[in-house]
């Protein structure tokens, strides 16, 4: 769930009569949605938390929407102990305080390791890129959840410790996970929700409580926040993991239940 940081744009070198030989990164079109009324616009951007930095996604509609926004809202604000942060607010849903699952933390470490083996790095991921850009331009940055809440949330997820421990010791599992993460990044680059929707359907069927904790409850809470935010004028760029903007329990679906319309704009 960790978020990532801004990949620097290619610097144009001025060499007389010689074209730049710097390789161009292929263009990407990750999904972007909008919710608005007469005096409020809220963009919904689905992020990928670790990327390889080889595609150019922070452009076109995404860049235009971000530039027009007064504030950036992420899932959470990941602490950075190396330097102080500017204006940061975080919200914690009430009544939830749990110890993090050791099994989840171990699985997360394996996922990070598998992604790194394929060149994925949170330092190139969309969330922190947006955060860095917002802070550099003086935009307010806010979290829908506190970091402690997001971490402790995983204490509510039931796990089969023996099965997961055995899986983590199987090198084939790590290789398969790395391959899947690569496929997910490719799908994200082209704004294709298919692989994310399939994974959510599988989770909802095989691990309904996990699905409820990670997606249904949080998407409902976030949709409520967005609906309430529409009551105040302004332009807001909300960036959350792509999985939260896909499927029958997506943030958009929860907004529709509240009578709030959303539309994809790219």
Question: For residue range 65-98, what is the model confidence (pLDDT) as tens digits?
Answer: 999 999 999 999 988 644 444 433 444 444 333 3
Which tens digit of pLDDT belongs to each residue from 203-252?
A: 999 999 999 999 999 999 999 999 999 999 999 999 999 999 999 999 99
pLDDT of 131: 95
Q: Is the pLDDT of residue 58 over 60?
A: yes
In a domain, 55, yes or no: yes
Query: Is 110 a member of any domain?
Result: no
pLDDT band, residue 166 (cuts 50/70/90):
very low
Is the model's pLDDT at 29 over the cut of 50?
yes
Task: Order across the sheet with 263-264: list the strands.
Answer: 88-90, 140-143, 71-74, 234-241, 40-47, 32-36, 263-264
- 113, pLDDT greater than 80: no
Q: How many CA atoms lie within 13 A of 260 on its CB side?
A: 26
Residue 170 resides in a domain:
no
Whether 227 is in a domain gets the answer yes
Total count of domains within the chain: 1
Q: Calculate Rg over the CA atoms of the chain.
A: 19
Position 201 in a domain: yes
In this structure, is residue 36 part of a structural domain?
A: yes
pLDDT band at residue 118 using 50, 70 and 90 as cut-offs: low
Domain assignment of residue 24, yes or no: no
User: Residue 166 domain-assigned?
Assistant: no
Q: Show the domain range for 68.
A: 32-102+123-158+196-264
pTM, entire model: 0.76
């Amino acid at each position: 769930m960790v978020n990532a940081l801004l990949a620097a744009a290619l610097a144009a070198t001025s060499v007389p009569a010689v074209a730049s030989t710097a390789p161009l990164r292929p263009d990407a079109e990750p999904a972007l949605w909008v919710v608005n009324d007469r005096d409020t616009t809220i963009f919904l951007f689905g992020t990928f938390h670790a990327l390889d930095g080889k595609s150019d996604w922070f452009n076109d509609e995404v860049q235009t929407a971000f530039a027009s926004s007064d504030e950036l809202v992420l899932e959470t604000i990941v602490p950075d102990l190396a330097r102080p942060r500017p204006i940061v607010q975080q919200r914690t849903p009430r009544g939830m305080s749990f110890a993090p699952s050791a099994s989840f933390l171990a699985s997360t470490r394996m996922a990070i390791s598998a992604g790194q083996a394929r060149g994925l790095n949170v330092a190139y991921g969309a969330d922190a890129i947006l955060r860095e850009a917002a802070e550099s331009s003086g935009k307010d940055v806010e979290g829908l959840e506190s970091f402690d809440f997001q971490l402790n949330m995983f204490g509510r997820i039931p796990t089969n410790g023996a099965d997961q421990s055995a899986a983590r010791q199987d090198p084939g599992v790590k290789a398969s996970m790395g391959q899947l993460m690569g496929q997910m990044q490719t799908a994200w680059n082209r704004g294709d929700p298919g692989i994310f929707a399939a994974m959510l359907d599988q989770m909802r069927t095989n691990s309904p409580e996990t699905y409820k904790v990670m997606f249904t409850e949080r998407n409902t809470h976030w949709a409520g926040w967005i609906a309430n935010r529409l009551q105040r004028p302004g332009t807001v760029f909300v960036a959350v993991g792509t999985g939260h903007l896909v499927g029958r329990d997506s943030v958009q679906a929860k907004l529709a239940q509240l009578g709030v319309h959303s539309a994809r704009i790219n």
